[in-house]
A and B are shown apart, each in its own frame.
Chain A
Amino acid sequence: MSATTAEHAVEHAVEHAHDAHSHVPPYHVQLKSNRMGLWLFFISEIFLFGALFAARFYLWHVPGVGQTRPELSQELGLLATTVLLVSSYFVFRGETAMEHGDRSRFLNSYMMAALLGLVFFVAVVVMEWNVFGLEGSIAGIELFGHLGIDDGVYAGVFYAMTGMHALHVITGVLLLLFVWNRGRKGDYSPERHWGVEGCALYWHYVDVVWVFFYPALYLIGTPWH
């Protein structure tokens, strides 16, 4: 019975070939897919950051001493962490504004978050990594890090973890700016703003990763050199 029904249905379908539009999933289905895809990507990235995290506890363990860490500028670490956490607040503020249809507040918040993200990036790469080899201090606080490539596993793990995170931060900054640019042209509405939502989720995620990385790099273990 099923076979004849099926063949009949197919013949019918060939006669009334549908156009492409009827095969595009409706918006609410695609939105569900987008959200799930992004969350699966986050789970996937847990394994990336988790492996780096595990490598840190594996390599910075000194037999007889326990967990150790390199000598890092606590002030710089605290500053960078604060800046990143504050940026997450602005992203949240922007997304909420978009849900309420307040375009200018959304645009300002996202631009602010992107700028704070850049500040974080500069604090890590220019100041803590000190890629330009600068010197300087304010009120007795050293502004630039001293960890060099020849500092063994301490440099290795520190650069790998902050580098992989900084790569995600700079991607997030670019995403924020792209969304800001499209928002400026009036592309999003309170009903349809997946770009705004996805970008905000990504930014919060990168932020949460740092919440784990910061203590692992700056706080846990005895300073060691």
Chain B
Amino acid sequence: MNFIRNLLLGLWYILTSSYIKGLIGQALFTFLGFQFLNLLLPDNLSEFSLMIGAIIGVIGFLLFAGVLTDWLLWIGGKETPLKHGAREGRPEWTRYLGPDVNHKVIGIQYGYTSLFVLLVGGLFALIFRLELAQPGMQLLDYQQYNTLFSAHGIVMIVSILLGVGAMLNYLVPLMIGASDMSFPRLNAFSYWVSIPAIVLVLTGMAVGGWDTGWVGYPTLSLVGPLGTMFFLLGFYINGISSIAGSINVLVTTATLRAPGMSLFRMPIFVWAALATSLIQFTATQTIAVALTLNLLERATGLVFFNPAQGGDPLLYQHLFWFYSHPVVYVFVLPGLGIISELLPVFARKPLFGYKWIALSSLGIALVGFLVWAHHMFVAGMSDTLRIVFMISTLFVAIPTGVKFFSWVATLWEGKIELSTPMLFVLGAISVFLIGGITGPILGTVPTDLHLHDSYWVVGHFHATMFGGFIFPFFAGLYYWYPKITGHMYKEALGKLHFWLMVPGFWVMSFGQMSAGIMGMNRRYADYDPALGIETQQVLVTLAAFVIGWSVLIMIYNFIASARTEPVVSMNPWGSRSPEWQIPSPAPEFNYDVPFEVVGDPYDYGLDKPYIRFQVVAGD
């Protein structure tokens, strides 16, 4: 009886959670907003009415989910102290169902949302990979194919941004010794505003889809079906989450570090978080402009990009890539930070060249702002600009190379322990190397002219994303899983995951690049059998399924281990980092006893402490 009662109660909590309330609010406000504006505005502006209605819908989501409650009370002049813990009389897990202000709860919310969205985006990829396994059209029509590959792109990008949010939110305050972020409510807002953004993108698939890819280039995006509008808007709303979240990380790191933690004594991941946030909080605004202008041109007929009416489509591409190139460094910098963070722990050696790694993150962020037009070598830019951007692009190799050499030097003669997180770190390095050395070929104008828009680009990009984000993210998930749950994951399943995913990825990557060299275009639903790439296409599809299954194994591992596996010791990896010197899961306010930094973070094998807990008076 008790079991059934608990089950029903649990269902009730989920049905009345902020996710469901928010969705109801979004649907209701979108409908009402659209109807109201439709009454006011002339008929030819009905898409504009729908667009504004959808924006009102996002506000509806936030209102109904309770994200704005505290701020609305402030406006009325009421004090609203931060609430901690679950609502009275409810189990602890219900905290995750609503806007909670604790950075660890928000980090975990980011994390499971990221994994869920990753599965959705992966499913899209598997469907259109099945279509590509043979020439001719078997499963899908062209419009469905276009919608699926476009949605795969943007959904995966949202998933990665959420994953970055997960790592930054969970780890940065713990690593610097803060009890929470500087702006806990804004932190909750950053997470919750991304949910209606995902809803908008998925709605776009239901109302006609879109065929522009994730880039949304005009003029195609100006004439595409209604789904294009929802896609652009969802992309836009997600940017709000990025900006608010990154400002929070920057301020937290600047003001709430533990005593003695100078910049060069921070854990290296915090440097990566800083570099990522610096890109996110600035560059995101320019894509906001690109998307705003695109939406306005679609919905109201104002002219910016349509050359037939005096506009210039290149302007969109400049504004778009000014964000979208740096944003790939937003994706990979936290991942590279995780690699640098974990290597010394599992090699039991100091991190080689700490300062160089720290500064190379900033270097990548800076150079990343100066290379955007290398995506436009065939777009009709001037020859001079091509040369300038080719040179600046090749400069990216310098700070990236610094990281590679430091990793190799850290591993050199280390006592390497090959548990799952370390395996994923090594896998990340191997895969990121593939992505890295295939890049200069695309960054060089003469070779890019041949490979542009080919499957080579697909191969290169997936190698950088898997090596720079997916593998390190999974490494981080395994590594901090005991910290998050207090239980150890099943090591055998973790190793199985790795040994399926790494060869799977190598096959996929080489298959994609080989198909590209032999003439396969990216974004094409079909190909000529005479190209002789059917073997590669089948292999890539099979490899994609292997990767998909291996990710499911990881998720099973995480769910099952949280209930069954034994409680871990306080510091299972023998890490020097402050978050491992406190119980797992971390207490509500992290450090009940504050610590001060008295040494360097990565002096493994040397008998020098990193932190010292302050002695409490009356001890």
Binding site for B on A (CB under 8 A): 1-3, 5-7, 9-10, 12-14, 16-18, 20, 23-25, 29-30, 32-33, 36-37, 40-41, 43-48, 50-52, 55, 58-59, 149-150, 152-153, 155-157, 159-160, 164, 178, 181-182, 185, 187
Q: A9–B77 contact, CB under 8 A?
A: no
Residues on B with C-beta less than 8 A from A36 are: 250-251, 254-255
Q: B302–A48 contact, CB under 8 A?
A: no
Q: B247–A37 contact, CB under 8 A?
A: yes
The contact sample of 9 A-B pairs, CB cut-off 8 A, is: A1-B609, A20-B589, A23-B180, A23-B589, A33-B182, A153-B309, A160-B293, A178-B75, A181-B77
Inter-chain CA distance A85–B251, complex, in Å, is 31
Residues on B with C-beta less than 8 A from A178 are: 75
Q: B581–A44 contact, CB under 8 A?
A: no
Residues on A with C-beta less than 8 A from B616 are: 9, 12-13, 16
- What is the CB-to-nearest-CB distance from B39 to chain A, in angstroms, rounded to a whole number? 16
User: Given A12-B616, A156-B296, do A150 and B609 touch, yes or no (CB 8 Å)?
Assistant: no
Interface flags for B602-619 (1: CB within 8 Å of A; 0: not) read 000000011111111001
Inter-chain CA distance A150–B310, complex, in Å, is 11
Residues on A with C-beta less than 8 A from B310 are: 152-153
User: Given A12-B616, A149-B301, A152-B303, do A18 and B247 touch, yes or no (CB 8 Å)?
Assistant: no
Q: A2–B610 contact, CB under 8 A?
A: yes
Interface of chain A: mostly helix, strand, loop or mixed: helix
> Which of A14, A45, A150 meets B592, CB within 8 Å?
A14
Inter-chain CA distance A149–B304, complex, in Å, is 12
Interface flags for B75-119 (1: CB within 8 Å of A; 0: not) read 101000010100000000000000000000000000000000000
Inter-chain CA distance A18–B617, complex, in Å, is 13
Beyond contacts A152-B311, A182-B75: 11 other A-B pairs, Cβ-Cβ < 8 A, are A2-B609, A2-B611, A3-B571, A6-B581, A12-B619, A14-B583, A37-B248, A59-B311, A150-B301, A156-B304, A160-B293
Residues on A with C-beta less than 8 A from B433 are: none
Q: B312–A59 contact, CB under 8 A?
A: yes
Instruction: Give the contact-size bracket for chain B.
Output: 35 or more
Residues on B with C-beta less than 8 A from A5 are: 612-613
Q: A41–B319 contact, CB under 8 A?
A: no
User: Given A37-B183, A156-B311, do A51 and B592 touch, yes or no (CB 8 Å)?
Assistant: no
- What is the CB-to-nearest-CB distance from A144 to chain B, in angstroms, rounded to a whole number? 19
Residues on B with C-beta less than 8 A from A33 are: 182-183, 251-252, 254-256
Tell me if B125 is interfacial: C-beta within 8 Å of chain A: no
Residues on A with C-beta less than 8 A from B247 are: 37, 40-41, 44
Q: A10–B84 contact, CB under 8 A?
A: no
Residues on B with C-beta less than 8 A from A45 are: 285
Inter-chain CA distance A194–B196, complex, in Å, is 31
- What is the CB-to-nearest-CB distance from A225 to chain B, in angstroms, rounded to a whole number? 12
> Which of A13, A25, A59 meets B256, CB within 8 Å?
A25
Inter-chain CA distance A53–B310, complex, in Å, is 18
Q: B296–A160 contact, CB under 8 A?
A: yes
Residues on A with C-beta less than 8 A from B75 are: 178, 181-182
Residues on A with C-beta less than 8 A from B359 are: none
Q: A18–B609 contact, CB under 8 A?
A: no
